[in-house]
Each structure stands twice: as structure tokens, then as C-alpha cells.
Amino acid sequence: MEKTISLSEIQNFKGKYPKQLWALFFSEMWERFCFYGMRGMLTYFMVTQLFMKDDVAQLQYGATQAFVYAFTFIGGLFADKILGFRKSLFWGGLLMITGSLILAYDPHQFFFLGISFTIIGTGFFKPNISTMVGSLYHKNDVRRDSGFSVFYAGINVGALLGGYACIAIGKGQIFNEYIPANLTWNVAFGLAAVVMTISLITFLFTQKQMGPIGLPPNGEEFEEVIFEGIGANSKTEPAVITQKKQSSLLGTYGVYLGSLAIIPVIMIMVKKTEYTNWFMLIVGPAALIYVFYEMMKYNWAERKKLCAALIFIFFSIIFFGIYEQSGGSLSLFAARNLNDSLLGAIHLDPNGVNNSANSLFVIIFAFVFSIVWIALAKKKIEPNTIIKFGLGFLFLGGGYYIFYATRFFANIQGIASLDVFTVAYLVVTFGELCLSPIGLSIMTKLSPRKLQGVMMGMWFLGSAYGQYVAGILGAGLSKGAEADSLPQKLITYTDGYKQLAIYAIIAGVILIVISPLVKKLMQEVR
């Protein structure tokens, strides 16, 4: 009988990386291929295949992404308390495969049903695999940082490949000699199902190497290491929380049945965004009232830290609202108003570039930024967390100003330069890399132990609101361009990007100006 490896044997590995890291690397890489491939297709598919108006499609895109982030928190809670990370990951993967297969069968007729499965599935899968990576290391193991660098490389390789391949196949830009024109979208959604299946099989065949990591909870206290930042693709400082797990067979099957039962509700709320509006209008204020109520139970020092946490959450909503135009208005802009020539010689699908440029630049520059921060720290001039957040906004504003500037590199037909568009993504990525350490880590550091779970929920809720705002902003940009000619659409969209650039720069300046105040609120937390 094969001996089960213990946690101490895993964590006391020799060399730079534990062997279990590579199994999780490939599982996450293929899951991110599926997620970013699907994300990159949504708005374009709704407009060109379901014949929705631009603004309606972007509102539904915002609703979809908002529920993905909301269910990420819920899925993480169920994994912590009932399922364990392995079951949660496997169940989430099955739901994502089911959703992708539904879409592959008939994406026109069953679009919202398939999307609802993937929303719930992502919620169970996304927060748990990174937690398992954190469990491979002792709490103070200096090798953890390099391990997560490898893991985030897997995220970005998957996002790069999926972001380009799925939309290019759907549009008939690649493999069109092998795929019938009437089946390109079926194959594109089917590809997401195939790679998600590969992800799940990889995990199944390697889970014995994980020892006790990710098994269902047993009632013992545990320390959990979680990674979730503003920039979805770049390395984030870990958040460590202590919880007590409880599990039961009844609870496990209750989670499975409950997650299936909620799918029709999600389907209705995404399809009819007025329901999403009511949901967001009620949940956010109610959550804030609850946090304010809980704050009253703590002393003034703890309240100041919680106020700082709420400031970070508020500005993260603004950041996401602008940043996430990539899946909405920028998707339509790329499809209609960009040429397909990069550097004058390489012909690429503009939507594929829109979906994958960020991931490519994160792969290239993440290490460079880490070296810069280390060098500045050695000279004792590294910017603090708030200043980095402000710099992130300034880069974001700069990137959107370059999106605006594409109008100056357009021909008379309203077709702009893919080169300039790609440079804009480079600058936006610099913004993401400035604020990648900000996330659950800062939430847990600023929160009393008993409120850490609540503030984690507020962080994910803030992320959901950011996606929701992105849909509203994108819809606002699209309304004026609905019946316009291509040159008019170019002007309308780029005018909108100029406004977003101004908002981002103002937010960045405000953060830098108020940084001394926020630093005082944070007290000893850095």
C-alpha cells in the first residue's frame, strides 16, 4: 500500500520548488485558459451573434463578471467550512466544463444557461487552488515568493493563450480551413471545455502528491494563506487568516445541491440586468451598514484601520470600473476600429490582442518591477502602499489617454493603429504591477481577527462592484455610438476613454495627496 505523504514532508522539500507546485501550475494554467477565453468572447458574441445592442451587451457583461467575483467569496467560504479545497476545486471544474459544453452544443440558444454554470464553477475553483499553493510552504519559508512567481506565470500563460485562441477561432481568424464557418463559435466554446477537462484530469492524477493539503475540514484550527489582489494576473502579497473548519456529509451534498439550485436564479439576474441593479443597490449599502455596526464594537485605533481598509475598497471599485473595459467597450472598439497589423509585419486578430496583451506584458515586466521595488527599498525610498496605489491609477490614466490617442493614428475609414493600442495596454499593465500587492493581505492586516472574514467579503464585494461599474461605464460609452459610422464610433469611444483617463488620473492624485492621512489611519501596518 502506497504511503500517504505528510504535510511536513511536503513543506520540507529540497531545492527551490516543491514537486506538487507543477501539478497546480498546469491545472491553473488550463483553468485560466478557459476563464480568459470565455471572458474575451462574451461581449463580442452577444453583439454579433445574439444581436444585442452594444449597451445591453456591456451591462450583461458587467453583471456576469460581478457575479463571478461575488461567488468567488462564497465558493471560498464553502471550501473553508465544508468541502475542503480539493472537492471545491473539482466541483467548480465540473460546473465550468458543463457550462462550456452547453455553450459548445448551442451557444445561441443556451447562452445564459451555460454562462450561469461557469459563474458558479469559477466561484468554487478560483479561490482555492492558490490557497493550496500557499499550503506547500511553511509560514516563513523564503522560497514561497519564487513559488508564487512560477504559479502566476502559469496564470498568465493560460490567459495569454486562451485570451487569443478562443476569440480568434470564434471569429474564424484561425483554423478556418479546418472548422466550418457555421461551427466556429461552437468550437471556440468547446475548446474552453477541453482545456478545463485537461486541468481537472491533471489535478486528479496528481492529487495523491498533495498529502493532507486540501482535504475536507476536520474541526481543527488552521492558518490559511490566501492570494487575491486588484491586478488579477500579477503576484500578490499573501493574506494569512486563522479559522476553524467543520464538515459533514450532509453539508457537502447540501452545497452541491444548493449550487445547482441557484443556477436558474443567476441565469435570470444576468439575463435581466434590472434584477442585478436591485441586487447591487441593496447588498452594498447593507454590507456597509453591517461593517459600521461592527466597527462600533472596537476601540478608536481599530476603527481607524478599518476606515483605511474601506478607503482601499472604494478606490479598488474605481480602478476595476476603468480597468475592466478590456472585456467590454474595448472588445467592441478592437473589433470595429483597429487594423490587424502589429509592427507593420505581424497580422493578428485585434480582439485577440485586446484579450492577451496584458498577460504578455505581465510575464515580461513583473520580474522587472519586483527588482525595481527591491532596489528602491535598499535605498529606503520605496513608495508605501498608498503611493503605489496612486501610481497605479496614474499609469492606468496614461494608458487610457493612449487609447484616446489612437484616433490620431486612424485612416479616413476610422480604422486606428493596433500598435498604438498595444502600447496603451503596456502602460495599463504598469499600473497593475504598481498595485499588485494590494488585496486581501492589506484587508487582513487592517482588520481585527474576528472581522477578517467580513473584510475579505467586503473586498470581493468591492471587486464585484468594480465589474458592475465597468459594465455601466461601457454601456454609457456605447449608447452614443450605436448607429454611428466607423469614424463616428472612433470619436465616440476615444472621447469616452479620454474621460476615463481623466477620472483615473484624478483618483491617483487624490490618493497621493491623502496618503499621509491614510498612513496615519493604518498606524503600524505597512
Q: 173, 8 in Cβ contact below 8 A?
A: no
pLDDT surpassing 80 at residue 368? yes
Range 18-221+248-271 classified under CATH 1.20.1250.20 = yes
Helix or strand or coil: residue 222?
A: strand
Which one-letter amino acid corresponds to residue 141?
D
pTM for the whole thing? 0.88
Distant-in-sequence contacts of 507-513, Cβ < 8 A, 24+ apart:
507/315, 507/318, 507/319, 507/393, 508/390, 508/391, 508/392, 508/393, 508/394, 508/396, 508/397, 509/390, 509/394, 510/390, 511/315, 511/386, 511/387, 511/389, 511/390, 511/393, 512/386, 512/387, 512/390, 512/391
The per-residue pLDDT of the chain, averaged, comes to 86
Q: Between vectors from CA 276 to CA 270 and to CA 280, what angle results, nearest 5°?
A: 145
Residue 223 β-bridge partners: 242
Q: What pLDDT score does 198 carry?
A: 92
- What pairing do the DSSP bridges indicate for beta strands 346-347 and 239-244? unpaired
Task: Specify the DSSP element, H or E, that contains 225.
Answer: strand 221-226
Q: What pLDDT score does 494 carry?
A: 95
The per-residue pLDDT for range 234-275, each reduced to its tens digit, is: 555 555 545 444 456 788 889 899 999 999 999 998 888 888
pLDDT surpassing 90 at residue 453? no
SS3 string of 375-396? HHHHCCCCCCHHHHHHHHHHHH
Band (pLDDT 50/70/90 cuts) for residue 441 is low
What percent of the chain has a predicted confidence (pLDDT) above 70? 90
The C-alpha cell of 345 is what? 509585419
Q: What pLDDT score does 238 carry?
A: 52
CATH number of 273-525: 1.20.1250.20
Q: What pLDDT score does 1 carry?
A: 44
What percent of the chain has a predicted confidence (pLDDT) above 90? 47
Summarize the chain as % helix, strand, coil (round to 5): 75, 5, 20
Q: What pLDDT score does 221 carry?
A: 47
What's the rounded mean pLDDT across residues 429-436?
84
Place of cell 495569454: 160
Question: Where in the sequence of the chain do the CATH 1.20.1250.20 domains occur?
Answer: 18-221+248-271, 273-525
Higher pLDDT, 483 or 353: 353
**φ, ψ at 17 (rounded to 5°):** -130, 140
Q: What pLDDT score does 18 carry?
A: 87
Band (pLDDT 50/70/90 cuts) for residue 332 is very high
Q: 404, 501 in Cβ contact below 8 A?
A: yes
| Choice among 199-213, 224-238, 493-507 with the minimum mean pLDDT | 224-238
The per-residue pLDDT for range 41-92, each reduced to its tens digit, is: 999 999 999 999 999 999 999 999 999 888 887 877 787 778 877 888 889 9
What's the rounded mean pLDDT across residues 313-335?
92
Higher pLDDT, 226 or 250: 250
DSSP per-residue letters across 350-372: HHHHHHHHHHHHHHHHHHHHHHH
